[in-house]
Amino acid sequence: MALLGSYSLYLIHIALLFRLCFAADPFANYELELSYITVSPLGVPQQVIAVNGKFPGPTLNVTTNYNVVVNVKNKLDENALITWSGVQMRRSSWQDGVLGTNCPIPPNWNWTYQFQVKDQIGSFFYFPSLNFQRASGGFGSFIITNRDIIPLPFSTPDGDIVIMIGDWYTRNHTALRTALDAGKDLGMPDGVLINGKGPFRYNNTLVPDGIDYETINVDPGKTYRIRVHNVGVSTCLNFRIQNHNLLLAETEGYYTSQQNYTSVDIHVGQSYSFLVTMDQNASSDYYIVASSRFVNQSLWQRVTGVAILHYSNSKGKAAGPLPDPPNDVYDTSYAVNQAMSIRQNVTASGARPNPQGSYHYGSINVTDVLADQFQVKGAYKLDFPNNPLTGPPRMDRSIINGTYKGFIEVILQNNDTVVQSFHMDGYSFFVVGMAYGDWTENNRGSYNRWDAISRSTTQVCSQGTVSRIFIV
Ligand SMILES: *[C@@H]1O[C@H](CO)[C@@H](O)[C@H](O)[C@H]1NC(C)=O
Ligand SMILES: *[C@@H]1O[C@H](CO)[C@@H](O)[C@H](O)[C@H]1NC(C)=O
Ligand SMILES: *[C@@H]1O[C@H](CO)[C@@H](O)[C@H](O)[C@H]1NC(C)=O
Ligand SMILES: *[C@@H]1O[C@H](CO)[C@@H](O)[C@H](O)[C@H]1NC(C)=O
Ligand SMILES: *[C@@H]1O[C@H](CO)[C@@H](O)[C@H](O)[C@H]1NC(C)=O
Ligand SMILES: *[C@@H]1O[C@H](CO)[C@@H](O)[C@H](O)[C@H]1NC(C)=O
Ligand SMILES: *[C@@H]1O[C@H](CO)[C@@H](O)[C@H](O)[C@H]1NC(C)=O
Ligand SMILES: *[C@@H]1O[C@H](CO)[C@@H](O)[C@H](O)[C@H]1NC(C)=O
Ligand SMILES: *[C@@H]1O[C@H](CO)[C@@H](O)[C@H](O)[C@H]1NC(C)=O
Ligand SMILES: *[C@@H]1O[C@H](CO)[C@@H](O)[C@H](O)[C@H]1NC(C)=O
Ligand SMILES: *[C@@H]1O[C@H](CO)[C@@H](O)[C@H](O)[C@H]1NC(C)=O
User: What is the number of residues in the chain?
Assistant: 472
| Ligand 5 atom 1, closest CA | 203
Q: Give which of 364, 455, 454, 444 is closest to 406, Cα–Cα.
A: 364
Q: Give which of 238, 457, 467, 468 is closest to 338, Cα–Cα.
A: 238
End-to-end CA distance of the chain: 42
Contact 413, 373 (CB under 8 A): yes
Contact 312, 217 (CB under 8 A): yes
Q: For residue 153, give the ligand 3 atom closest to its CA.
A: 5
The CATH fold of domain 10-145: Immunoglobulin-like (2.60.40)
Instruction: Kindly report, as residue ranges, where domains of CATH 2.60.40.420 are found in the chain.
Output: 10-145, 159-341, 361-471
Q: Which amino acid is at 338?
A: Q
Does domain 361-471 fall under CATH 2.60.40.420? My reply is yes
Q: Which of 72, 73, 109, 110 maximizes ligand 2 atoms within 8 Å of its Cβ, making it the mutation to test the pocket?
A: 110
97 CA from centroid of ligand 1 (Å): 25
Q: For residue 203, give the ligand 5 atom closest to its CA.
A: 1
Summarize the chain as % helix, strand, coil (round to 5).
15, 40, 50
For the chain, 472 residues long, give each residue's pLDDT as a single digit of tens. 222 222 222 222 222 333 344 458 999 999 999 999 999 999 999 999 999 999 999 999 999 999 999 999 999 999 998 988 767 765 555 566 665 567 889 999 999 988 888 888 999 999 998 889 999 999 999 999 999 888 899 999 999 999 999 999 999 999 999 998 888 889 999 999 999 999 999 999 999 999 999 999 999 999 999 999 999 998 999 999 999 999 999 998 889 999 999 999 999 989 999 999 999 999 999 999 999 998 888 899 999 999 999 999 999 999 999 999 998 876 778 888 898 899 999 888 766 766 666 677 777 777 776 765 544 333 334 456 666 666 665 555 566 667 777 788 888 777 777 777 777 766 778 888 888 777 778 888 888 888 888 887 788 776 666 665 554 3
- Residues touching ligand 3 (Cβ under 6 Å) are 153, 257-258, 345, 347-349
Question: For residues 404 and 402, what is the distance between their CA atoms, to the nearest angstrom?
Answer: 6
Q: Give which of 91, 92, 164, 153 is closest to 123, Cα–Cα.
A: 164
Question: For residues 57 and 46, what is the distance between their CA atoms, to the nearest angstrom?
Answer: 17
Residue 91, Ramachandran bin (φ over 0: left; ψ between -120 and 50: alpha; else beta): left
User: Model's pTM, two decimal places?
Assistant: 0.86
Question: For residues 64 and 87, what is the distance between their CA atoms, to the nearest angstrom?
Answer: 11
112 CA from centroid of ligand 6 (Å): 44
CATH code for the part of the protein at 159-341:
2.60.40.420
Q: For residue 281, give the ligand 7 atom closest to its CA.
A: 1
Question: Is 382 close to ligand 11, i.e. is its CB under 6 Å away?
Answer: yes
203 CA from centroid of ligand 5 (Å): 6
Q: What sign does the dihedral 355-272-221-213 (CA atoms) show?
A: negative
355 CA from centroid of ligand 9 (Å): 18
Closest ligand relative to 142 C-alpha = 4
